[in-house]
Amino acid sequence: MNRVVMVIGGGGRESVLVEKYSLSPHVSKIIAISGNDLMQFVSKKPLITFPNIKTTDKNEILKICRLQKVDLIDVSRDDTVAAGVSDLLRKNKFSVLGPSKKAGKIEWSKIYSRKLLKKINIPQPEFKVFDSQKHGIEYLKSQKEQQWFVKADGLAGGKGAMPAKNNNEAISAIKSLRQFGRSGEKFLLEKWIKNNNQIAEEFSAFALSDGKSFKILGYAQDHKRANDGDTGENTGGMGASFPPLLIDKNIEDQVDKIFEKTFAELLKRKTPYVGVLFLGGILIGKKVYVIEFNARWGDPEGQVIVPSIQNDFYELGAAVATGKLNNISLKIFKTPRVCVAVAPHGYPISKKHIGEEIIGVLKFLKNKDTKIYGAGIKFQDKKLVTTGGRALHVVGEGKNIKEAREKAYNVINKIIKEGNKLHYRSDIGWRDIRRLK
Ligand code: GLY
């Protein structure tokens, strides 16, 4: 049918979206803004990337949509949503799968999100809003010693939620909010949710909405810390597993209700949500609390869930963009998958190894049930070099989480044997591996 799809972004998440759209018989060409240099190997259709166009540059993006006669645009980045790219494209009669700036406020203002959830009675941590560091610090000095989260109100490149083990650490975190510029001018102080020695486990859930109706896409578990055993710095995510064995009917029912109430409230506010909504949840005992909402797919969660969707991806995207999600019956195969992120050595602290060559990766791209998606990587003088952040996402698929994980690590071990010095976690999926035993 010669449809042209644009995917905005250039990470592992957008790579799997490019792959999925390219499998649709309706699609003849894919445009990626900014894209990455490994996307061409996963796209089954001709792909054009625009490495010099910023994902927030709405006027340039609009120009490319016109020139390339784009039929559907998939917006899955927080900064793109906050820049109002979806709004401008819709105003110019393009079909967009992605929230408006106002609907996306559920991610780009943590204060707005907390207040919205409070209004509709969704379980969440206790919070207090501040617009001056002085008041935040005074408040902390009046509180008994406890654990906190300090959260910048605005987007902060995934670094805006800072855990603090005591009041002093929280004061230091408040002082460090300056690094986020305007995003850190207002902030939240959140109390850690007490778990009274009950199990407390995080998960990510995803739903797709056309503004009027919604469908659950699936669940995954992210591994946010840099090192094995969930230690070290917070990162965008060092790996993900799917489907989490933690998720049972009780959790599904609670999550369903949370999405239902949230989408209904956004519609009531005349900011209907069109696109993928990401619920970061924590299970305390048997009760689900919302840690945060994101107006997009997760990365690396997308890399393990998107391949499970069996529907024609163009038909699904077009149905969402035109308010016809109810016409689609979702087909999801819960084949276990484990995604392991591979980053330059020293990530995320040292930048010393950024720009180094990764040797011998291309020959592993054709594995049948293990996929490699590029992210912070580019060709330079015919060599693949890292550009910072997570460089590759290796996704293994198997009959269970153990087999899926083995497949991912087999490929990673081969990449390391080529002589590469890279950083990755060796325990992705550890919770479900333990549950399987
Ligand atoms: N993996 C977490 C995120 O995408 O924000």
Q: Which amino acid is residue 66, in one-letter code?
A: R
- The answer for residues whose C-beta is within 8 angstroms of residue 69's C-beta and 6 or more apart is 4
Q: In angstroms, what is the span from residue 225 Cα to ligand 1's centroid?
A: 12
- Report the percent of the chain where pLDDT is more than 70: 99
Could you give the C-alpha distances from 427 to 180, 224, 340, 401, 408, in angstroms and in order? Answer: 32, 12, 9, 12, 11
Nearest ligand 1 atom, CA 301: 1
Q: pLDDT digits over 206-262, tens only?
A: 999 999 999 999 999 999 999 999 999 889 899 999 999 999 999 999 999 999 999
Q: pLDDT digits over 83-127, tens only?
A: 999 999 999 999 999 999 999 999 999 999 999 999 999 999 999
Nearest ligand 1 atom, CA 302: 4
160 touches ligand 1 (CB under 6 Å)? no
Both tokens of residue 170?
A: 């929280």
Q: Say if residue 44 is exposed, middle or buried (CB neighbours under 10 Å; 0-12, 13-18, 19+).
A: middle
Distance CA 390, CA 229 (A): 19
Query: Any idea of the CA torsion for 95, 99, 100, 102, to the nearest 10 degrees?
Result: 170
Neighbours of 367 (CB within 10 A): 17
The pLDDT of residue 205 is 98
Nearest CA to ligand 1 atom 2: 298
Q: In angstroms, what is the span from residue 282 Cα to ligand 1's centroid?
A: 14
294 within 8 A of 105, measured Cβ to Cβ: no
The model carries a pTM of 0.97
210 within 8 A of 324, measured Cβ to Cβ: yes
Both tokens of residue 118?
A: 């409070």
Nearest CA to ligand 1 atom 4: 298
pLDDT of 36 higher than 90: yes
Distance CA 158, CA 160 (A): 6
368 within 8 A of 356, measured Cβ to Cβ: no
Nearest ligand 1 atom, CA 158: 5
pLDDT of 198 higher than 80: no
Encode burial over 78-111: b for 16+ CB neighbours within 10 A, e otherwise: bbbbbbbbbbbbbeeebbbbbbbbbbbbbbbbbb
34 within 8 A of 58, measured Cβ to Cβ: no
78 touches ligand 1 (CB under 6 Å)? no
- Report the percent of the chain where pLDDT is more than 90: 94
Nearest CA to ligand 1 atom 5: 298
Q: pLDDT digits over 300-345, tens only?
A: 999 999 999 999 999 999 999 999 999 999 999 999 999 999 999 9
- The answer for residues whose C-beta is within 8 angstroms of residue 233's C-beta and 6 or more apart is 225, 226, 348, 349
Distance CA 420, CA 280 (A): 34
Mean pLDDT over residues 25-39, rounded? 98
Average pLDDT, the chain: 96
